[in-house]
Amino acid sequence: MLTDSSLCAPLDLPPREDKPRTRGRTMVIDTGAPTRWFEDVVESHGDLVDAVKFGWGTCLVTRDVKTKIDICRAAGIEAYFGGTLFERYAAADAVEEWRALCRATGCTTVEISHGTVVMSNAEKARWVAEVAREFTVISEVGFKDGGRSMALTPAAWVEAVRTDLAAGATTVTLEARESGRSGFCTAAGEARDDVLGALDASGIDRDRLLFEAPTRDLQVTLLRRYGVGVNLGNVALSDVVGLETLRLGLRADTFGGV
């Protein structure tokens, strides 16, 4: 925001919490950005970013991933690895090695999912409870495969979220992948109204939900439905400022407010 807030006053922009925020959080996905570019984005726009997820297992092929994590920590940004990395280690019966990786790189937050592997909700919840003894746990609900996710009934989505929260997850991420065409979204990239409606009616604290929304259309849909305080994730590094202007009603898509 501008240093001289009086210049924005006539626009009556919606208030935004200061970091650390409990609502209106923005999670950025890093899929292997060059370190200096990453550092530039955080230096310029770190006040708009609440968390960075290092996706696609890129931490294993990024020479200076710890440098990136240190950059996040210095800017008050939560840093963690994508849940598929946990699944890869779990499938290899090597969860302790995954924990060691998280410790060695300085991650105090982790994501646990079962979007790719065959794992029951109950088994995932046991992992959430176990790992929550040491780390802050974010869980993820929904599958990478669009067909599997579409087969999940709205009630099943709600039950999965409740199960993970009860097990100790601080936040539950709603899967949409980096394409916005899976998880709680259709193959056409539209949010499933039946799933959102069931979550709305469930009484689950929306501040504990984070909706993956990599596309502008999804961001607009969720902002119009829930307002500036909705938590959004899988935002590209290049879209951080653009999303904030959507939140504030400065773009044509949300002109005048959401």
pLDDT for 8:
80
pLDDT for 2:
55
Instruction: Please report whether residue 168 resides in a domain.
Output: yes
Whether the model pTM is above 0.75: yes
Mean pLDDT by 10 residues, the chain (258 residues): 71 90 97 97 97 96 96 98 97 98 97 96 98 98 94 97 98 95 96 98 98 98 97 98 96 88
pLDDT for 3:
55
SS (H, E, C) 132-143: CCCCEEEEEECC
Instruction: Please report whether residue 6 resides in a domain.
Output: no
pLDDT for 125:
98
Dihedral pair phi/psi, residue 174, rounded to 5°: -95, 115
Tell me the CATH number at 107. Answer: 3.20.20.70
Give the total number of structural domains in the chain.
1
Domain that holds residue 160: 17-254
Instruction: Please report whether residue 36 resides in a domain.
Output: yes
Instruction: Please report whether residue 170 resides in a domain.
Output: yes
pLDDT for 205:
98
pLDDT digits (tens, 9 = 90+) for 198-227: 999 999 999 999 999 999 999 999 999 999
Instruction: Please report whether residue 37 resides in a domain.
Output: yes
Placement of tokens 């290092």 in the chain:
54
To the nearest 10°, report the CA torsion of 142, 148, 149, 154. Answer: -110
pLDDT for 256:
78
Instruction: Please report whether residue 35 resides in a domain.
Output: yes
Tell me the C-alpha distance between 235 and 53, whole Å: 10
pLDDT for 10:
85
Instruction: Please report whether residue 40 resides in a domain.
Output: yes
Instruction: Please report whether residue 12 resides in a domain.
Output: no
pLDDT digits (tens, 9 = 90+) for 51-84: 999 999 999 999 999 999 999 999 999 999 999 9
